[in-house]
Chain A
């Protein structure tokens, strides 16, 4: 895939970091404002997709093939799985919000709601990696590439 014109490149260079930051913000504040792990994760993936669409995939092809998005996905999901399993280890129910029982935190503040922000973070990583891998699989890879 070829890159686009200079104007597009400049604009997306400016836009991509802010979209990325917005994604991180949406992930971290999922329990207080609209949004959450999914919305934020898709935003983060979107910032990468924007850069690749603007600059073309030819330059980054080799890095994309080495950089393993699926591994990130596994890790993110495994963290989420572990947060769910934590309750069972602690002797309560599966998926128990074990942190609120000990330290409820102040409502309406960032550090509240126990494992919810942590889950959001894990989901954010997983969704970003998953969507990015779908994008590179369907849009960039050629016959015979391995991921």
Chain B
């Protein structure tokens, strides 16, 4: 159970970063950390004590048992989705720097409250 809680701790560190940090790139890093933590939690959920990789070979014995393959398939999807969001966010961050000449969120404020 301790490993699950540590994944949640990682999630909360990322959450803290998103809510408190005032730098565009720091917020990007914080969102990446959140994403890692969720992927981590998902992968941990699929682990089975003593299980092996869910890939069959011709010599696989009848008695071997495998870890849960579904979380692996889902995390694979989640990693690629995370890459997509990070890339778009980085593109917007670069454009923001070009327009405002700063990464400080408090100075990027042309829209009213």
> Which residues from chain A sit less than 8 Å from chain B, CB to CB?
32-34, 38, 108, 127, 131, 134, 137-138, 143
Contact = CB atoms under 8 A, between A and B. Distances in A.
Contact of A138 (B53, B57, B83, B87): B87
- Sort chain B's interface into a size bin: 10 to 19
Given A38-B80, A143-B98, A137 B57 contact: no
B94 A138 contact: yes
10 contacts: A32-B55, A33-B55, A38-B76, A38-B80, A108-B57, A108-B58, A127-B80, A138-B87, A138-B91, A143-B98
Interface of A is mostly: helix
A137 B91 contact: yes
Interface string B90-113: 110010001000000000000000
A108 B80 CA distance: 27
Interface of B: 53, 55-58, 76, 80, 83, 87, 90-91, 94, 98
Given A38-B76, A108-B57, A143-B98, 6 more contacts: A32-B55, A34-B53, A34-B55, A38-B80, A108-B58, A138-B87
A34 B57 CA distance: 12
A136 to B, nearest CB: 12
A137 B90 CA distance: 11
